[in-house]
Structure 1
Amino acid sequence: MRAAVLTAPGECSVQEVPAPVASAGEVVVDVERVGVCGTDVEFFTGEMAYLHEGHARFPMRLGHEWAGIVRAVGDGVDPAWRGRRVMGDTMLGCGRCRRCERGHQHVCADRQEVGIRGGRPGALAEQLAVPVTSLHELPGNVDPALGALVEPGGNALRAARAAALTPGDRVLILGPGTIGLLTAMFARATGAEVHLMGHTAASLAFARSLGFTAWTERELPDVAFDAVIDATNAAYLPARALDLVEPGGRVVCIGLAGSPSHIDTRTLALKDVTAVGVLSASPGLAATIAAYATGQVDPRPLVAATVGLDRVGAVLAGAPIAGAGPGPKVHIDPRSH
């Protein structure tokens, strides 16, 4: 089969690789759609921490935001899975440790992450093998584009829920990228008043086109924010979030900076603020699928373009795509030549 293979920083090519075989407890999926995200770009640039910590190494196959059709099943898997459209959890815990037994496989110390950690090949390929336990079936009205947006959506849903918003609350989301905009969509669905903060005119204009109030940091009004959600990679913004949030409010950190962020815990305590970190979509996948299926949240405008595998390297390098829309997300269709 054809797969996009990252062999070194800045070096990505489409190669012919052996097609996966479903081991016991696994399925093979014909991949229909894959999202490219910031984590993939960090691997492409060589900056991803897992490369330096020994959790990942080249060559590797990226792709963890995906949807597809189950083609084959391994021993012990119900044959009824064949032909179903699915997406899958990125985080694959060991299944034996205390964390996994408590339903926290996404923070298992020995976890694999599809297309990211532990040598588990990703979905930027024509086919993908994953454990059946990681699958979530997609309803008929959740198409491949929506299916590939479930994984980032699950992260965003968890961030919005961590803010504990109620109708009439005012929330500020730092960063109008994919995760920030998805979080804004889930926050709006709670009845909250949603504001976003960014720094490029294009990203702010796109946020406004989706019906959100968007500001630069300099323009930010002096109003009370009941929650502030940091969905950026800027190391200084968690401290800024703590300054901006109302006493008794919540700060949610879902973005990851390349260097340590520092906050003053005296401010955290004196303002009686709850701070929450979010890693992984795992606990939010089912609810995200339901939100998409009912139309409560429609993230499809975020997809700027869908291209074939041959364009993966260019997408990772940030090359412009002819005819692309204004959204922040690029999808790959591995079936397209």
Structure 2
Amino acid sequence: MRAFVITGPGRAEVQEVEPPAPLEGEVVVEVERAGVCGTDMEFYSGAMTYLHTGEARYPVRIGHEWAGIVREVGDGVDPAWLGRRVTGDTMLGCGRCARCGAGRQHLCADRYEIGIRHGRPGALAERLPVPAWALQPLPDTVDPTLGALVEPGGNALRAVRAGALEPGERLLVIGPGTIGLLAALIAAAQGVEVHLLGLTEHSLDFARSLGFPHTWTAPPPGPFDAVIDASNGPGSPALAVELVEPGRHVVFIGLSADPSPADTRRLVLKDVTAVGVLSASGGLAGTTELYASGQVDPRPLVAATVSLDEAAMVLAGKRRPEWGTAPKIHIDPRLRR
């Protein structure tokens, strides 16, 4: 089968590789769609932290935002999965440790991460092996584009839940990228007044096109009932603490390349709850329901769908003018250039 393989910093190619056979407890999925995110771009550039900690090494087969159809099942898997459209969890815990036993498999010290950690192959390929327990079924109303947006949407949903907001309250989202915009869409669907903070007016044009009138390029007048930092700015966490209402929640889901200092005295004196969110684990089913019901439609976030042959261009940050300013690019491994 064809698979996209990153062989080193700035080097990648589409290779012919052996297709996966399902192990016990696993299925093999025919990939209909896979999303490209900032983590994938860091693997391509060589900046990804796991490459420096030994948790990942080249060659890497990326892709952890995906949707597809179950084509094969391994021993011990219900054959009813065959032919079903699915997406799935990225984080694959060992299933034996205390964290896995408590439902926190996404924090398992020995976890694999699809397309990211410890060599687990990703979805930029025609077929993908996945443990059956990690699958999330997709109803007919969730098409491949929506299906491949369930994983980033699960991250955003967990961030919104962590904000503990009620309808009519005010949320500030720092960072109008994919996760920030998904959080904004989910919060707005719950009746929350959403404000978005970006670096430039150009970075906020797309947010305004989605119907968000409260956009800012400088810190807006607070306080806000919750603040979600979905940016990669090292100064954003401290700003989030300053702008949140005392006694409420700040949520950190963005990651900076540099340390992000925040004054814990401000957290204490404002009695603020700070929450970190890692992964979509626990948010996949809820996100699927939001998409299936039509309460949230994130499809405008996808600028284009391209083939595996064009993946390297996308990872290098190159965009065609006709794609516009929508933040997400999808890959369809079935396409040929």
Whether the TM-score (by the shorter chain) exceeds 0.5 is: yes
Return the alpha-carbon distance in structure 1 between the equivalents of residues 40 and 6 of structure 2.
10
Give the match for residue 87 of structure 2.
87
Return the alpha-carbon distance in structure 2 between the equivalents of residues 211 and 248 of structure 1.
29
Which amino acid in structure 1 is aligned with residue 14 of structure 2? Answer: V
Which amino acid in structure 2 is aligned with residue 262 of structure 1? Answer: P
Cα deviations by residue, 1:92-143 (Å, 9 ceiling, x for unpaired)? 0000000000110000000000000011000000101111111011001100
Return the alpha-carbon distance in structure 2 between the equivalents of residues 80 and 223 of structure 1.
52
Which amino acid in structure 2 is aligned with residue 287 of structure 1? Answer: G
Which amino acid in structure 2 is aligned with residue 298 of structure 1? Answer: D
Give the match for residue 143 of structure 1.
143
**C-alpha contact 1:305 1:321 (8 A) present in aligned 2:** no
**C-alpha contact 2:4 2:62 (8 A) present in aligned 1:** yes
Return the alpha-carbon distance in structure 2 between the equivalents of residues 66 and 190 of structure 1.
26
Which amino acid in structure 2 is aligned with residue 161 of structure 1? Answer: R
Aligned residue for 1:229, secondary structure, equals strand
1:219-238 alignment runs, 5 A limit? 220-238=219-237
Aligned residue for 2:141, secondary structure, equals coil
Number of aligned residue pairs: 336
Give the match for residue 215 of structure 1.
215
Give the match for residue 255 of structure 1.
254
Which amino acid in structure 2 is aligned with residue 205 of structure 1? Answer: D
Q: What is the identity percentage for the equivalent residue pairs of Structure 1 and Structure 2?
A: 66
Unaligned runs of 5+ in 2: none
Give the match for residue 309 of structure 2.
310
Cα deviations by residue, 1:142-170 (Å, 9 ceiling, x for unpaired)? 00000000000000000001000101111
1:114-263 alignment runs, 5 A limit? 114-218=114-218, 220-263=219-262
**Higher mean C-alpha deviation, range 135-144 or range 240-249:** 240-249
Which amino acid in structure 2 is aligned with residue 29 of structure 1? Answer: V
Cα deviations by residue, 1:36-57 (Å, 9 ceiling, x for unpaired)? 0000011111111101111000
**C-alpha contact 2:200 2:217 (8 A) present in aligned 1:** no
Give the match for residue 37 of structure 2.
37
Q: How far is the alpha carbon of 1:213 from its aligned partner?
A: 2.9
**Higher mean C-alpha deviation, range 304-313 or range 256-265:** 256-265
Q: How far is the alpha carbon of 1:237 from its aligned partner?
A: 0.6
Cα deviations by residue, 1:234-289 (Å, 9 ceiling, x for unpaired)? 11110011111111121100001112111111110111111100001011100000
Give the match for residue 285 of structure 2.
286
Cα deviations by residue, 1:7-59 (Å, 9 ceiling, x for unpaired)? 00100110101111111111111000000000001111111110111100000
Return the alpha-carbon distance in structure 1 between the equivalents of residues 128 and 321 of structure 2.
29
Which amino acid in structure 2 is aligned with residue 268 of structure 1? Answer: L
Which amino acid in structure 2 is aligned with residue 274 of structure 1? Answer: T
1:95-106 alignment runs, 5 A limit? 95-106=95-106
Return the alpha-carbon distance in structure 1 between the equivalents of residues 320 and 56 of structure 2.
29
Unaligned runs of 5+ in 1: none
Which amino acid in structure 2 is aligned with residue 169 of structure 1? Answer: E
Return the alpha-carbon distance in structure 1 between the equivalents of residues 15 and 274 of structure 2.
44
**C-alpha contact 2:201 2:217 (8 A) present in aligned 1:** no
**Higher mean C-alpha deviation, range 209-218 or range 283-292:** 209-218
Aligned residue for 1:61, secondary structure, equals coil
Give the match for residue 4 of structure 2.
4
Which amino acid in structure 1 is aligned with residue 153 of structure 2? Answer: G
Give the match for residue 112 of structure 2.
112
Q: How far is the alpha carbon of 1:214 from its aligned partner?
A: 4.3
**C-alpha contact 1:198 1:214 (8 A) present in aligned 2:** no
Give the match for residue 72 of structure 1.
72
Which amino acid in structure 2 is aligned with residue 230 of structure 1? Answer: D
**C-alpha contact 1:4 1:12 (8 A) present in aligned 2:** yes
Aligned residue for 1:213, secondary structure, equals coil
Return the alpha-carbon distance in structure 2 between the equivalents of residues 92 and 148 of structure 1.
18
Return the alpha-carbon distance in structure 2 between the equivalents of residues 69 and 52 of structure 1.
34
Return the alpha-carbon distance in structure 2 between the equivalents of residues 92 and 195 of structure 1.
34
Return the alpha-carbon distance in structure 2 between the equivalents of residues 115 and 246 of structure 1.
38
Aligned residue for 1:281, secondary structure, equals coil
Which amino acid in structure 1 is aligned with residue 333 of structure 2? Answer: P
**C-alpha contact 2:229 2:254 (8 A) present in aligned 1:** yes
Give the match for residue 268 of structure 2.
269
**Higher mean C-alpha deviation, range 145-154 or range 195-204:** 195-204
Q: How far is the alpha carbon of 1:190 from its aligned partner?
A: 1.8
Which amino acid in structure 1 is aligned with residue 254 of structure 2? Answer: G
**C-alpha contact 2:146 2:298 (8 A) present in aligned 1:** yes
CA RMSD of aligned residues (A): 1.0
Q: How far is the alpha carbon of 1:322 from its aligned partner?
A: 5.0
